Structure 1
Amino acid sequence: MKRRDFAAVLTAGVATPTLLGAAPAHAADRSATGLPQHMSAVLTAELADRDAAKALAPLLYDVGFDWRPETAPPADCDFILAFGFGNRPPAGGGDPVKVRYEPGPVNEELADTVARVRARRNVPVYAQWEIARFLVSKYGMSDVTSIEPLIAPDGTITYLSTDGVAAQVAEARKRVPGGAGTACVIGFRDHHKRCVQTTRDRGLKAYAPRGFSMPHTYDPESGQAWTRRRDLYLVNDMLAQWSALRAKLMAEAFPNG
């Protein structure tokens, strides 16, 4: 298959509905379109290596063409874990290294989503601080643990990564009587899959809440440049997915270093 033919398959068959936010079929149904097989065939021809192509094709498919996490009913969860997305520069100005950013409109939408899920399943909430602020101020919500940035003695602020948030929650859940339980993960639409996977990588059971849509409108005024525009964010998220995947594959192939 020529490269332009392969590109046509991606555009017509799968890529457009998924990336534009339409409601695509289940991942298994998408696989039935033959895209993974096309990818493997093209890679085999390009690499002249069937085994390498067979190993790479499902990884490329997972990172680039499957953007939805596994779901479970909210009734199955023991706590809600909400990851922030973007922010706004400090309203009063000042040194952004030492003056906390504003939560911004996207995190308010994420807080609204948490509230909808919480109305269905009244369980503890662990929320990145940008979301937690709205849960308390807008909804007066109780039993909310705010995951805060790290502040050094000199006042320097270090904001947590997706993994940093998941790590803090995983540590907190170790102290819960009866076990850590299952997380109902809330996250921005294009960040959601990685939120669930990162939570699992930290040793927690985690799912997206079935039947709930996630916020998906980008904020062009976000203080994080990579969260202002969808095409740029998707590249950023794929880079993060590849980095995590690389670490896993290396550890599996060479556990002793």
Structure 2
Amino acid sequence: MSFDACAALVERGDPLRFRAAMAAPLAARRVLFPLYAFNLEVARAPWVTSEPMIAEMRLQWWRDVLAEVVAGGPVRRHEVTDALSDVLDVQGARDLDGLIAARRWDVYPDAFEDAGHFEDYINATAGSLMWTGARLLGAQDAVPVRDMAFGAGVAAFFQAIPALEQAGRKPLVDGTRDGVAALARAALSRFDRGRAAQRDLPALARAAVLPAWQARPLLVQAVRDPGRVADGRLTLGPLADCWRLTRSVVTGRV
């Protein structure tokens, strides 16, 4: 039942990853849905309260879950933890602990310290999630997976910027048009580098990078018209979105 609960959580809270997982083989879904449900619970923990201490406690609860996985003992009961502990190994738990640590940025109003801090945040969040899924599904080379995850993570972060600014946050180190375009170009370059090696991934592991199917055209939009980011116009139309997902499933490349 825990697996079904994970799938239902992702369907409600993360429709992009839900669509990607449903397009994957069942064996991949068994790994990906618990990971995506975990990610959803962690990602929204800082935003369900205005009290930093409570948000920190919520994040710490999930860090304690991962520590229990590392220790090899029983894991506390939760609709996500049962399925998660069935698929997660020690290395995965350690990598995902870094994801939770990075999410502490979401708790406080402080801006990123510099470009390196922002890159670390994307690598630890989008990167660790995608790499953990791919590795558990048989991938051995982290570099192309993390490169694609960085591009997809930046694209998703761009889409979140209007909401972040409305919440009083300063999401980018350089939010000027030139700064946004430069970041988009860097993310696109890294994404394309990873994408070039995607065919070398085991077939099942490619399911873990499928959520990146929107990343390239969104980054191209941001390069060509950086104002779309602040205006909330960084998006794909329904037909283009459906076509890219279908093509990615058929060809095995995002």
Larger Rg: 1
TM-score using structure 1 length: 0.28
| Structure 1 or 2: more helix by fraction | 2
TM-score using structure 2 length: 0.29
| Structure 1 or 2: more strand by fraction | 1
